Chain A
Amino acid sequence: MAMQMLPPDWPGNFWAHWAIFAVAVLVFVLLMVIVFIWFERRAMAVMQARLGPNRAGPFGLLQSVADALKILIKEDIIPARSDKLVHWLAPVVAFVPALLIFAVIPFRGGAILADLNIGILYIVAISSITTVGIFMAGWSSNNKYSTLGAMRQVASVVSYEIPVVLSLVGVILLAGSLSMQQIVAAQNIPFILLQPLGFLLFFTGALAEINRAPFDLTEADSELVAGYMTEYSGMKFGLFFLAEYAEALAISAIVTTIFLGGWRGPLLPDWLWFLVKVFIVFFVIVWIRTTVPRLRIDQLMALAWKFLFPLALLNLLITAIEILVWPAVSLWVFVPINIAIAIVLVVLWSKFFKLGWGKVEV
């Protein structure tokens, strides 16, 4: 039986609720992004047998603050023949959607800015707008490298939207609602156990959407300098940088809410559980970045269309069948079945799968 969700009993009217929460969400995101940048640098350093930032402040905690100050006071260079308005708007269009996602993330029982009953649809729609900003950046820079980088980005995001959305539909079927609050409420068993394949597909697809390793070819410094960000300096570059970490934070928060049970958990207070889970997911993202090499663009597309997309369809089919056969006993029966199915499918499919199409005849 799902938990009873009490309506929020905050003082004041609708506008007061909105004002307090908007400010709280902004502060939370900006603060967490700063902490995440520090955390990533320290974690990567430990995994690479070195120290990481440890000079600015105790344990290097003020390093991100120092970097932010440095970026703020840098000169803003605009290329002479660029499209000025688009060049100025691009970082804004790239950063704002990452903030907007947090409007529907429940931080604790009842603490949510807007309890939309179409929460997941809103998230999927808003997160695609970032790509428009990135393409605007690449196009307006009037630079071959940036345009190439931006086009790769658009191709990869469009390809990965489909498996991501399909894996979310499995969760929606189990919870019976699109609202984020209801999804958290329905997780008596965390959905990562009930939907292991869906979790893997969503995680991989989300990593590709936010351009983190191993899918970070659009900003690989081994290749076209910095891709779409080449011609940006000063705070505009800072906004792109912040946008990348804000998206990583958003993905961590979404994975926590949808697959790990959000703020639910024994013993500790619920906001602490939420933070702990977000940190764990982000740590896994950093761990993957440190460990694996990078994929090429055609290998990326092949992975999306030939590997993730069919598996997402199969996942949806299997979840639908399981819901029809809903056991009267307990949902725990499905946990080992789903995990077994996930392992078998992934192993089988990877045997028949070839990454990319190699050399082209010129």
Chain B
Amino acid sequence: METTKEIVINTEPFVVNFGPAHPSTHGVFRMRMTLDGEVIVDMEPVFGYLHRGIEKLAEERTYTQIIPLTDRLDYLASMSNNLAYCLAVEKLAGIAVPERAEYIRVIIAELQRVASHLCAVGFFLNDCGAFMTPVLYMLRERERVLDLFDMVCGQRLTYNYMRVGGVSQDVPDEFIPAVKKFVREMPGWLDEYERLLKENEILLARAKGVGILPRDLAINIGASGPVLRASGVPWDIRKADPYSIYDRFEFDVPVGLAGDCYDRYRVRVEEMRQSLRILRQAIKDLPRGGEVRSQVPHLIRPPVGEAYGHLEGPRGELGFYLVSDGSIAPYRFHVRAPTFINLTALADMMRGWKIADAIIVFGSIDICMGEVDR
């Protein structure tokens, strides 16, 4: 009797390099993927291509000279970086901030959050394949925020606006009416994007259930920001450990249920709406007149000690750990970079999915290489 031998085709996994220069990794980021056909078996992230030694440079600069360095950490949300650093130094040196400066700081920080989330959502959709159209619409709104920042400090990307003890200069007269106009029109634009995207079949098919980060893993890897909140943990530094004057404002913290890419996208859009809510309250209560910068010496010498100042940046909890030895420059300057830590679980989120999903998962974490590498 004849028997036929079963022919088994031997396949073996092969390693593909999503190299540092690639059209869709946000910045210089390398992923070494082990693929079995189209399915990702394992993934190893390699970065450090943008390491500039900011922590070492900061040890040679005075406390005020470090502020432009912090701009270049997360360059898509520079105002938040400045603010976090100034909060850390103020905590270390015990410097108080005048009322008007606090309100201006809140207004600027929330405008920055809107601008950063617009960028994040736009590029996430670009990774999904909606060839540039959502990006260009959202960049159009981001331009308005950048125009507002241009009015305030003359810069569009690396602002260097916050100072220890307040802000560097007062806002011009045309700023507040322009912010009011922006806050009035922005919800209409958000509704327009939502109409096209929220129930879009293809977006739901690509992003729902993809790249799930379970709740316990999210807490264990120290995730923060929209990534943590989309996994079901209602942890927002603005509510849990209010800094500046955030305890005076009324706002909600959007929390997702499933922890997939779609939830991260929805959390970011809802956060934009809440930011607009905070902006409305802050503009109403802004005190007229008053100084915007408390009297600090030109060369700040904080007492010997250490402090950890943190805030809720658009990408997560941005913290600065400063150790002072009484001199004009910090002894140690360490950045707690949210996107660096959020990337810890990237391999777990990608295993079992296909290459096309890897791009989407990576885009939904919303990294900025300046912060990952420092």
Contact = CB atoms under 8 A, between A and B. Distances in A.
Interface string B302-339: 00000000000000000000000000000000000000
Contact of B127 (A47, A222, A292, A297): A222
Given A297-B38, A359-B353, A361-B352, A225 B136 contact: no
A225 B23 contact: yes
B38 A294 contact: no
Interface in B12-65: 14, 16, 22-24, 36, 38-41
A224 B355 contact: yes
B356 A296 contact: yes
Nearest to A295: B202
Interface string B130-144: 111100110010000
A285 to B, nearest CB: 13
Interface stretch (B3-11, B82-90, B203-211, B240-248): B203-211
Contacts of B126: 222
A351 B56 CA distance: 58
A177 B156 CA distance: 65
Contacts of A295: 129, 202, 205-206
A226 to B, nearest CB: 9
B25 to A, nearest CB: 10
B352 A362 contact: yes
Which 6 pairs, one residue from A and one from B, show the smallest C-beta to C-beta distance? Answer: A294-B129, A222-B24, A293-B130, A293-B128, A355-B205, A359-B352
Contacts of A293: 125, 128-130, 200, 202-203, 206
Interface in A290-322: 290-299
A220 interface: yes
Nearest to B34: A362
Interface class of chain A by DSSP: loop
Nearest to A290: B133
A292 B355 contact: no
17 contacts: A47-B133, A48-B137, A214-B129, A220-B129, A222-B127, A222-B129, A223-B24, A224-B355, A290-B131, A291-B133, A291-B196, A293-B130, A297-B354, A297-B356, A299-B205, A355-B205, A358-B210
B239 interface: no
Interface string B250-263: 00000000000000
Contacts of B202: 214, 292-295
B222 to A, nearest CB: 24
B71 interface: no
A49 B16 contact: no
Given A47-B133, A293-B200, A295-B202, A221 B24 contact: yes
A200 to B, nearest CB: 15
Interface hub of A50, A223, A293, A295 (most chain B Cβ within 10 A): A293
A138 B40 CA distance: 21
A70 interface: no
Interface of B: 14, 16, 22-24, 36, 38-41, 125-133, 136-137, 140, 196, 200-203, 205-206, 209-210, 351-357, 359
B364 to A, nearest CB: 13
A217 interface: yes
Given A213-B131, A360-B352, 10 more contacts: A49-B136, A145-B16, A148-B38, A222-B23, A222-B24, A225-B22, A291-B130, A293-B125, A355-B201, A362-B36
A305 to B, nearest CB: 16
Nearest to B212: A359
Nearest to A350: B201
A356 interface: yes
Interface size grouping (class) on chain A:
35 or more
Interface in A275-294: 289-294
A32 B29 CA distance: 41
Contacts of A356: 205
Interface in A304-362: 355-356, 358-362
Interface in A201-257: 213-214, 216-217, 220-225
Contacts of B41: 362
A144 interface: yes
Nearest to B136: A48
A297 B38 CA distance: 9
A48 B132 contact: yes
B135 to A, nearest CB: 9
A224 B358 CA distance: 12
Contacts of B133: 47-48, 290-291
Given A221-B24, A359-B352, A360-B352, A292 B130 contact: yes
Given A221-B24, A290-B131, A362-B351, A50 B136 contact: yes
B111 to A, nearest CB: 21
A45 to B, nearest CB: 9
A134 B206 CA distance: 26
Contact of B39 (A222, A355, A362): A362
B32 to A, nearest CB: 13
A217 B128 CA distance: 11
Nearest to A48: B136
A361 B351 CA distance: 8
Contacts of A292: 130, 200, 202
A50 B136 CA distance: 8
Given A295-B205, A361-B352, A213 B129 contact: yes
